[in-house]
Structure 1
Amino acid sequence: MMDHQDAHDLGLAHDLKAMTQLASRRRALGWFAGASGAAMLAACDGGSGDSATSGSAGTATATPTPTPSATATPTPSATATSGSCVVDPTETNGPYPADGTNTSSGVTSNVLTAANVVRSDIRSSFLGSSTATAAGVEVVLTLTLVDVNAACAPLAGYAIYIWHCDRDGKYSLYDLPAESYLRGVGVTDSNGQVRFTTIFPGCYAGRWPHIHFEVFSSLANATGGRYATLVSQLAMPSAACSTVYNGASGYSTSVRNLAGVSLSSDNVFGDNSSAQIAQQTPVMSGSVAAGYTATAVIGIAR
C-alpha cells in the first residue's frame, strides 16, 4: 500500500498556499449563505411587485412583451369582406360625368351645382328649356350604402349621384347637349338607401352596359362638386340585358353592341374580382312590359 504523505511540515510555501485556499473557501461559503438567505426571503415575500426592484444586487430588468411581426396580421385588401359586403372598386367616371371635372365643346358642365339636381325620377331633362323624357324600359333602382369596416352598417346622410346613357347609348349634355336627363342626386335614408326611377341603359360599342355613380359624405359636399368619396360603376345583369334589348323597342343597336363585349373583356369591369362584380351587378326582377326593380349594395371603407 502506498503511504500517504502528511499535510504538515512541508515548508512555509506550502502553508501559505493552504491558508490562501482556506480563505477562499470561507469567502465562497459566506457568499452562498448570503445568496441562500436572499432566496429564502424572496420565497417568503410571495413574489410581490416590490421585490423586482429591491435589494442591493442591482435593478431587475423587465422582460419585454414580444411585438408581433408586421406580417402576423395581414392588412385587409380593398376587396376584403366584412359580413356580406365588399369595398366597391374605384372606376373611371368616364368622359361624360358632368360633375365639373371635364369639358365638352369647350364648356364645363357641373349638374351637381344645379338647385334641382336632387331628385328621385331622373328620366326627364331638368336644365335649360328642355323637359324631354328619355324613352326606354323603366327601372326603379334602390342603392344601399354600407360601411365595410363596420359589419356592413348602413350609412345615412350620404349623397349619391348617378348618370348613364339613354337607350341609344348617348349621354345628355355631351352627345345630346340640349338634354340633361338620366342624371340626378339622392340622399341616403336611415337604412342607407336611396331610390331612383330611370330607364334601362343601352349598350354602346366597346363597353358593357353600365350605370355610373359617385358617393359623397354629405349633400353639401356633393353640391359643392369634386368631393367624391367613391367613383364607380354598376354592371347591368347579362340576362336582363338580353331580355330588354331583344324584347323592347328602341334598343336594336344594343343587340349588336352587346354581342361584341363581355364582362371579362370590358376595360372597366374586366380586372375586378368575382366578389366585386357580384356586388356591382344589381339584382333585378320584372319584365319589359311592367318595368324592372333593381337593388345593389355599395360598400365603402370609412
Structure 2
Amino acid sequence: MSTASNSGGNSSSGNGHSHGHHHDDEFDRGLSYDLPVFARRRMIRLLAGASMVPLVAACSSDDSGNGAASDSSSSGSSSSSSSGNSSGSDCEVIPEETAGPYPGDGSNGPNVLKESGVVRRDITKSFGSADGVAEGIPLTITLTVVDQASGCDTPKEGAAVYLWHCDREGRYSLYTDGVTEENYLRGVQETDDKGQVTFTSIFPACYTGRWPHIHFEVYDSLDDATGGQDVAATSQLAFPKDVCDTVYATDGYSQSVENLSQLSLESDMIFSDGYDQQLATTEGSTDKGYTVTLTVPV
C-alpha cells in the first residue's frame, strides 16, 4: 500500500514518551484511530466556550475582541499563523497533537532517535546502512521554539526538535511497505541562540484522509531527544492550500491532487478545531523550492 495513514492512539510506553502508541498490529487501523484525539480536543473547546458565556454576557457592550474564523484561502507566498507569532498576553502554547502511528521515536516500534546520524539538517537522504533518497519539490523548514511562560519573547536555546513527515508518495520511512528499510525524512536538531532549527527536506504528499502536514516533537535538550526522555510538546505543521495546489501539479504528486480535493483544513480531523498557530508561513516556487517557517511556543 503506497499511502500511509497518519493516525495514532495515546498511551504510555517504557521509553518515557507520554504520547506513545500500542503495538505493531495497530499501525494500519486508519483514520478512525485519530478520532479519540479529535473528540478530546473538540470537547475541550466546547467546555472552554461554555465557561466563557458569563464573561461574554458581562462584556456584551464591547465585542471587538471576538475571534474570527480563520481564512483557509491564505496566500501561498505569505500564508502565516498570526497566533503562532504573537507575544505577551496573546501567546499560547502550540496545540498538542497526536504523533500518529509512524513516529519512529520508540513509542510505537522503531526508534530512529538512538541511531548515530539522526542529528542532521538534511533529511532527504537515509543514513546508516540505508541509502534511499526522497524525491520531490525542495522544502526548507525553520521552526522557532520560544518560551510561552515569558510571553513568547524568549527563544529556547539548547532545546531539540525531532521532525518527520511522509514522502512524495505518502509513505513513512521505517513503517510503510517499500520504505521500511529507509529512515529518510526524519531528523533531530538542537535549537540555536535564536531558538531556531532548520531542516532541508522535500514537500510532503497529501495522502488519503489527511491535510498535508509535518510532525514534530520538542524536547528540553538534545540529550533528552536522543536518550528517549519525555517529550515537551508534540504537534503538527499545516500547509496553505494554494501552495499545495501548485506543488501537486508537478511531476510525482499526481495522487495528491485527488486526495487534496476531498479535504479542507476545516474538515481535517486534526486541524478542524483550529489551525491558526499551525499554519506555516510559506514562500517560494516549484522552480526554486519553498521555505516554511513556524513559531512554536512551549
Task: Tell me the TM-score normalized by structure 2.
Answer: 0.69
Query: What residue identity is the alignment partner of 1:100?
Result: G
How far 1:226 moved relative to its partner? 4.5
1:292 aligned to 2:293? Answer: no
Alignment of 1:100-139 (within 5 A): 100-102=106-108, 108-128=109-129, 130-139=130-139
How far 1:225 moved relative to its partner? 1.3
Q: Which deviates further from its counterpart, 248-257 or 142-151? A: 142-151
User: Which residue of the partner structure matches residue 150 of structure 1?
Assistant: 150
Unpaired segments of 5 or more residues in structure 1? 1-70, 73-78, 103-107
1:187 aligned to 2:180? Answer: no
User: Which residue of the partner structure matches residue 175 of structure 2?
Assistant: 174
How far 1:261 moved relative to its partner? 1.1
Please state whether the residue corresponding to 1:278 is helix, strand or coil: coil
User: Which residue of the partner structure matches residue 257 of structure 2?
Assistant: 255
- Contact map agreement 1:99 1:226 (CA 8 A) in 2: no
Instruction: Select 1:99's aligned residue among 105, 117, 131.
Output: 105
Unpaired segments of 5 or more residues in structure 2? 1-53, 56-82
User: Which residue of the partner structure matches residue 225 of structure 1?
Assistant: 228
Q: Deviations over 1:67-110 (max 9, x none)?
A: xxxx99xxxxxx996436421111000010010011xxxxx200
Query: What residue identity is the alignment partner of 2:175?
Result: Y
How far 1:127 moved relative to its partner? 3.5
Query: What residue identity is the alignment partner of 2:146?
Result: V
User: Which residue of the partner structure matches residue 140 of structure 2?
Assistant: 140
Q: Deviations over 1:179-218 (max 9, x none)?
A: 1100000110000001000000000000000000000000
- Contact map agreement 1:101 1:226 (CA 8 A) in 2: no
- Contact map agreement 2:139 2:292 (CA 8 A) in 1: yes
Task: Measure, in 2, the Cα distance between the counterparts of 1:265 and 1:278.
Answer: 15
User: Which residue of the partner structure matches residue 39 of structure 1?
Assistant: none
User: Which residue of the partner structure matches residue 47 of structure 2?
Assistant: none
Q: Aligned residues: percent identity?
A: 52
- Contact map agreement 2:116 2:128 (CA 8 A) in 1: no
Task: Measure, in 2, the Cα distance between the counterparts of 1:286 and 1:82.
Answer: 27
Query: What residue identity is the alignment partner of 2:247?
Result: V
Q: Which deviates further from its counterpart, 83-92 or 262-271? A: 83-92
User: Which residue of the partner structure matches residue 242 of structure 1?
Assistant: 245
User: Which residue of the partner structure matches residue 54 of structure 1?
Assistant: none
User: Which residue of the partner structure matches residue 277 of structure 2?
Assistant: 279
Task: Measure, in 1, the Cα distance between the counterparts of 2:251 and 2:227.
Answer: 39
Query: What residue identity is the alignment partner of 1:205?
Result: T
Q: Deviations over 1:225-262 (max 9, x none)?
A: 1511001100111111011001x210000000001111
Name which structure has the greater RCO, CA cutoff 8 Å, separation 6+.
2
User: Which residue of the partner structure matches residue 66 of structure 1?
Assistant: none
